[in-house]
Amino acid sequence: MNIGEAAGRSGLPAKTIRYYEDIGLIKPLRDANGYRAFRESEVQKLAFLGRARALGFTIEDCRSLLQLWEKSDRESADVKRIAEEHLTTIEEKIAELTTMHASLTRLVAACAGDDRPDCPILLDLAAEEARPEPVTDDVR
């Protein structure tokens, strides 16, 4: 099986597959003509990698997960630990984005968005007494 078919079956672009070989995630054989020769097991690995990446695991996490997957005497605790750490990372990112989102939403709401130059968003970024107003209860 050539790289094109492996790409089609695994759902990964051929470029990505070559890259994964480059960094040692997979080691396909070679045909006499130099073409990569993928076995079923490699396509499985590629699909595994695609799903792990879709869950946001780093390449290094993927490498570890792949090794654990291959190793029949693994301990599920090792897998779980990786997943839990990744979960924490995701939570941190979500928290950061949520904070940004809250600030931006407030600023966007306060901005008239018309042809006049006055803009609470720029005032906030300039930190010149940015807070729009002390607000009243009806806001929330």
Partner DNA sequence: ATCGGGGTTCCAGCCGCTGGAAGGTCAAGG
Partner DNA sequence: CCTTGACCTTCCAGCGGCTGGAACCCCGAT
What residues from 1 to 40 belong to the interface with a copy of itself (CB under 8 A)?
A: none
Interaction of residue 51 with a copy of itself, rule CB under 8 A: yes
Q: For residues 35 and 106, which CB has a smaller minimum distance to a copy of itself in the complex?
A: 106
Q: How many residues bind DNA (CB under 7 A)?
A: 20
What residues from 28 to 87 belong to the interface with DNA (CB under 7 A)?
A: 32-36, 53, 58-60
Q: For residues 75 and 91, which CB has a smaller minimum distance to DNA in the complex?
A: 91
Three-state SS string across the chain, please? CCHHHHHHHHCCCHHHHHHHHHCCCCCCEECCCCCEECCHHHHHHHHHHHHHHHCCCCHHHHHHHHHHHHCCCCCHHHHHHHHHHHHHHHHHHHHHHHHHHHHHHHHHHHCCCCCCCCCHHHHHHHCCCCCCCCCCHHHC
CB 28 within 8 A of CB 37: yes
Interaction of residue 19 with DNA, rule CB under 7 A: yes
For residues 40 and 55, what is the distance between their CA atoms, to the nearest angstrom? 23
Interaction of residue 103 with a copy of itself, rule CB under 8 A: yes
Q: Supply the minimum distance, in Å, between the C-beta of residue 33 and a copy of itself.
A: 31
Binding site for a copy of itself (CB under 8 A): 44, 47-48, 51-52, 54-56, 65, 68-69, 71-77, 79-81, 83-84, 86-87, 90-91, 93-94, 97-98, 100-101, 103-105, 107-108, 111-119, 121-122, 124-127
